[in-house]
Structure 1
């Protein structure tokens, strides 16, 4: 009898040991996942990449039914940085300008887990009615609630109020820091490349953009067009209406350019009253058509001075088009720099022709990439 009792106790002990080992292995797997995710979070430099990681990778990595995110965005910095994100991410992300709705979710500023009420499920997971349990992670930075991450599961036992979620609490802190860092870094970068008056790229950004787009044109064998847009008689506007009205005219033209062009087009204030626009995958004929439409749109603008008196603008536009050769021997930095400068020079020359011919006109030039040795390129650029 005693022998049977000892055998039974031994079996129970072995079963307990096996279960404990399985729990340890399971916990180690979870911790490894969290460690890997944490490294990915810390490596993110762009807010859009971080959002993709939270809304897509989290769902697959942790086998969740749904993931949604709230962010407090009073100055719309995040909104500007997330223009053009995939529709799936946009649907799962909500930006708030006021903190009230966020604060209502966390009366104690603590992580919450467990089954969801019908109302809360519809609020947090409007597109997923099958979420039965969830973890609500408050994202807090410097004692301020900046967001809320929601992990939803179809299993009602996946998240429970009785469990400890130390690893999730730690992850909350990491995510909060990463969100703040991405917004700050990208905002600073934007400030260094954006013209503060018009809100378009500045000349520094344009120099980087044109080299990249020339290289892309070679890879894709697609044409690249450039527009130079110059406000006619801008000095007269400043002299007659004042510099404040001149600034208003520049802002108005900057806004018109952003409305007229595609998201893939690159708009810059090149200097003074002159703007430059890069049109990827755009032929000479298409560029002239686009420029003429823009010229007419500028002519239709009504600007008002500080006293409310209306006046109109006109603009002269020069276009140039780069058509990459099917074969080119050299595509190094010197060759790309030469081709960039040539594209700009031709657009500038076309603009000069438009102004010389009476202004409020469109002129165009086209050029093709040719095979050049570095020596001849150096002579052309420096000469």
Structure 2
């Protein structure tokens, strides 16, 4: 039994302590415990882990998992199922349709749990397994499916499915441990980017109206410009201001004027498509991004909104009714007519031209829509 010395210098036995090893014995044991790893797999997983650790938002995470990872490991495709019982992820993931059948959000975790045994663990399915009929339906000719459970404290958050042509990826236990480590990093990254995205979303919202703020609007327009360029579709923006808002604020108070802003934003929002984006830019200014909207259609939308608000009666909270009007400026970008390379410059130009059109509406008495046109774009 191992020995030690007590405070009086006497030999003292230590219960349950491991026997001491000499340096030679320790070296021999370490060599004996050496394992052989697939160098290619180890290298590829390390690279992917580095990419995941640098993912700072949900879109980047999804791009890595569904696009980069299959190319990285040279297998046909990846599919991701995520548990979303309250629709939180659905609200955070912008442009989810771009992922097609490769991304599935489910409010019921039963189907996902049925893919695994009692304790979710890495699972390799072959073509004879009936679970193959449930996963990777968007691709034919897949011989194997590697299932990676994404868990948080034992709770299944998601399931990543990799379509394989061969089963050599998991040739031995050390390689299974490597893939299990990758699954753990993927789950941890997913949890972190969702939390970060939720915080970010809060910073993009106007606390008064619960629509996008100026920062959110700038992100919306940048994203929609990129999408319009890819789809070769027009994009329009409207900026609007409540006429004589300062007089309203002076005559009543901040509470009433804020009540008017909320009511106006809600009224305008009720007329928008699901693909449109409404934002509050300043105290009395709002803006709308209209994807796939030509100049003539955007002008019609602006006129309808202007007329609707003109006739909209707002209870002032004191038994009286308030009426407001809007001055609106608009601009349209058609990538077919005005190609542009510098998307940031284009976004600034669109906002600037729309603001000029808004100023024209206000100078001409308000309660009207003015149109600006992009004359020259940075290319």
Q: How does 1:73-112 map to 2 (within 5 A)?
A: 73-85=84-96, 87=98, 89-104=99-114, 105-112=116-123
Selected match of 1:227 from 214, 221, 239: 239
Asked if the contact 1:116–1:133 (Cα under 8 Å) also holds between the matched residues in 2, the reply is yes
Q: Tell me, in whole angstroms, the C-alpha distance in 2 between the residues paired with 1:129 and 1:337.
A: 45
Asked if the contact 1:339–1:369 (Cα under 8 Å) also holds between the matched residues in 2, the reply is no
Counterpart secondary structure, 1:165:
helix
Q: For residue 180 of structure 1, what is the aligned residue in structure 2?
A: 191
Q: Tell me, in whole angstroms, the C-alpha distance in 2 between the residues paired with 1:347 and 1:62.
A: 52
Q: For residue 47 of structure 1, what is the aligned residue in structure 2?
A: 58
Asked if the contact 1:226–1:343 (Cα under 8 Å) also holds between the matched residues in 2, the reply is yes
Contiguous gaps of at least 5 residues in structure 1: 1-22, 215-221, 324-330, 356-360, 371-383
Q: Tell me, in whole angstroms, the C-alpha distance in 2 between the residues paired with 1:337 and 1:198.
A: 24
Q: How big is the shift at 1:161?
A: 9.4
Q: Tell me, in whole angstroms, the C-alpha distance in 1 between the residues paired with 2:105 and 2:235.
A: 39
Counterpart secondary structure, 1:124:
coil
Q: For residue 3 of structure 1, what is the aligned residue in structure 2?
A: none
Q: How big is the shift at 1:243?
A: 9.6
Q: How big is the shift at 1:47?
A: 1.4
Asked if the contact 1:211–1:337 (Cα under 8 Å) also holds between the matched residues in 2, the reply is no
| CA spacing shift, 1:281–1:157, aligned 2, 3 Å | closer
Q: How big is the shift at 1:365?
A: 6.1
Q: How big is the shift at 1:200?
A: 2.5
Q: For residue 67 of structure 1, what is the aligned residue in structure 2?
A: 78
Selected match of 1:364 from 338, 357, 370: 370
| CA spacing shift, 1:369–1:180, aligned 2, 3 Å | same
Q: How big is the shift at 1:121?
A: 1.0
Q: How does 1:67-216 map to 2 (within 5 A)?
A: 67-85=78-96, 87=98, 89-104=99-114, 105-155=116-166, 165-196=176-207, 198-206=209-217
Asked if the contact 1:102–1:148 (Cα under 8 Å) also holds between the matched residues in 2, the reply is yes
Counterpart secondary structure, 1:64:
coil
| CA spacing shift, 1:202–1:64, aligned 2, 3 Å | same
Counterpart secondary structure, 1:98:
coil
Deviations 1:298-334 (A, max 9, x none): 579899999xxxx9987423215599xxxxxxx9x9x
Q: How big is the shift at 1:143?
A: 3.1
Q: Tell me, in whole angstroms, the C-alpha distance in 1 between the residues paired with 2:237 and 2:174.
A: 60
Asked if the contact 2:275–2:291 (Cα under 8 Å) also holds between the matched residues in 1, the reply is no
Asked if the contact 2:70–2:78 (Cα under 8 Å) also holds between the matched residues in 1, the reply is yes
Q: How big is the shift at 1:173?
A: 0.9
Q: Tell me, in whole angstroms, the C-alpha distance in 2 between the residues paired with 1:249 and 1:341.
A: 27
Q: Tell me, in whole angstroms, the C-alpha distance in 2 between the residues paired with 1:213 and 1:126.
A: 30
Taking structure 2 as the reference length, the TM-score comes to: 0.64
Counterpart secondary structure, 1:44:
coil
Asked if the contact 1:111–1:137 (Cα under 8 Å) also holds between the matched residues in 2, the reply is yes
Asked if the contact 2:279–2:288 (Cα under 8 Å) also holds between the matched residues in 1, the reply is yes
Asked if the contact 2:76–2:164 (Cα under 8 Å) also holds between the matched residues in 1, the reply is yes
Contiguous gaps of at least 5 residues in structure 2: 1-34, 226-233, 334-341
Deviations 1:100-124 (A, max 9, x none): 3333334212222242555311111
Q: How big is the shift at 1:192?
A: 0.6
Q: How big is the shift at 1:167?
A: 0.7
Matching of residue 316 in structure 1 with residue 326 in structure 2: yes
Asked if the contact 2:237–2:287 (Cα under 8 Å) also holds between the matched residues in 1, the reply is no
Q: How big is the shift at 1:170?
A: 0.2
Q: For residue 29 of structure 1, what is the aligned residue in structure 2?
A: 40
Q: For residue 13 of structure 2, what is the aligned residue in structure 1?
A: none
Asked if the contact 2:261–2:284 (Cα under 8 Å) also holds between the matched residues in 1, the reply is no
| Structure with the larger helix share | 1
| CA spacing shift, 1:351–1:142, aligned 2, 3 Å | farther
Q: Tell me, in whole angstroms, the C-alpha distance in 1 between the residues paired with 2:214 and 2:169.
A: 54
Q: Tell me, in whole angstroms, the C-alpha distance in 2 between the residues paired with 1:117 and 1:69.
A: 22
